[in-house]
Amino acid sequence: MLASTVLADHEAVSTAAAVSIAARLESKPHALLCLATGATPLRTYEILARHGRAAPCLTRFMKVIKLDEWGGLAMERPGTCETFLRNALVTPLGLDSRYIGFNSNPANPAAECTRVRDWLAANGPIDTAILGLGLNGHLGFNEPDDALQPHAHIATLSPESLRHSMLSNEPERPTFGLTLGMSDLLHARRILLLVTGKAKRDALRRLIQGPITTRFPASFLHLHPEVTLLVDAAAAGRTR
Ligand code: GLP
C-alpha cells in the first residue's frame, strides 16, 4: 500500500515538498527534475525559487523537464504549462539552458514527441518527478484508458482535464495533450506526489486503495519503490 504523510494544509505540504527537493539537490546538484503544473505544486515551486535565489549553488546545475502541455495553445498564452513553469521557476532561477519541454503548438506534434523522447533518452532518467493527481487519476496527461503509453506521446484530453482551472481564462480549448509517458515516470528514481484539497479526497482514496488499473493511471505508483506521497488534511478527509 502507498504510505502517505498527512500534513495540516496546502502550505505545510508545499513547504515539506520544497524542503525535500532542496535536500535532494544538495546531494545531487545535477538532478533532472520532472515538473507537473497546476494549482497543487505552485506554492512548492515558489518556495523552491526562494531557496534557490537565497542560495544559488542549490539550483545552479539542476535540469528541468516539463511533464506535460496543452496542445494547440500558443506557448505564450497565460494558461499553458510553459507560462506556468517559466513564471514559477525557469525565469526566477535562470534555468533556460537547463530546461526542456514540449512546444504547446508544434507544426508536427508527433515530431515534437520524438524530440522530447530523444532528449530524455539521452539525458534521463528523471531523478525526481514532482507530480499532482488528476481528479480522474491521471498523471500528466496519461489519462484513464484501456491501455497506457510508455513514452512522450499525444494524448486525448479527458473532459475532466478540459475543465482544469488553468484553462478557465483561455478563450480557445486545447485540442490535444502532450505528455511524458508512464514508463518515463515509473523510471524516475524518486517520485514526489502532492495531493491537497477536499476535491481530491475521492481520488486520493482510490489511489491508496488500488487496484492497479489503466482506468486510474496513478495507481501504477504502487509499483514504484520510492514514492513520497504528501497530502493535506482536507484531501485525507480529516477536515470537513
Ligand atoms: C493537470 C496537469 C497535471 C496536474 C493535474 C492536477 O491536468 N496537466 O500535470 O498534475 O492536472 O492539477 P491540479 O494540481 O491543479 O489539481
Pocket around ligand 1 at a 6 A CB cut-off = 36-40, 67-68, 132, 134, 140-141, 161, 164-165
User: For 12-43, how does the pLDDT look when each residue is reduced to its tens digit (9 = 90+)?
Assistant: 999 999 999 999 999 999 999 999 999 999 99
- What pLDDT sits at residue 240? 60
Q: Which residue has a Cα nearest atom 3 of ligand 1?
A: 140
Q: Which residue has a Cα nearest atom 11 of ligand 1?
A: 134
- What pLDDT sits at residue 136? 96
pTM over 0.85: yes
User: For 142-179, how does the pLDDT look when each residue is reduced to its tens digit (9 = 90+)?
Assistant: 999 999 999 999 999 999 999 999 999 999 999 999 99
* DSSP code at position 214: T
Residues of the chain above pLDDT 90, percent: 98
**Distance between CA atoms of 4 and 176, rounded to whole angstroms?**
32
Domains of the chain, with CATH numbers?
Answer: 4-191 (3.40.50.1360)
Cβ-contact 236, 158 below 8 angstroms: no
Q: Which residue has a Cα nearest atom 12 of ligand 1?
A: 38
Query: Which helix (DSSP H) or strand (DSSP E) does residue 219 occupy?
Result: none
* Residue 215 alpha carbon to ligand 1 centre in Å: 17
User: 98: which 3 cell numbers?
Assistant: 537547463
Cβ-contact 154, 71 below 8 angstroms: yes
Q: Which residues pair with 213 in a beta bridge?
A: 216
* Residue 165 alpha carbon to ligand 1 centre in Å: 9
Active-site option among 46, 87, 136, 222: 136
In this structure, how many other beta carbons lie within 10 angstroms of the beta carbon of residue 194? 26
Residue range 48-62: average pLDDT? 94
Collapsing DSSP to helix, strand or coil, 128 comes out as strand
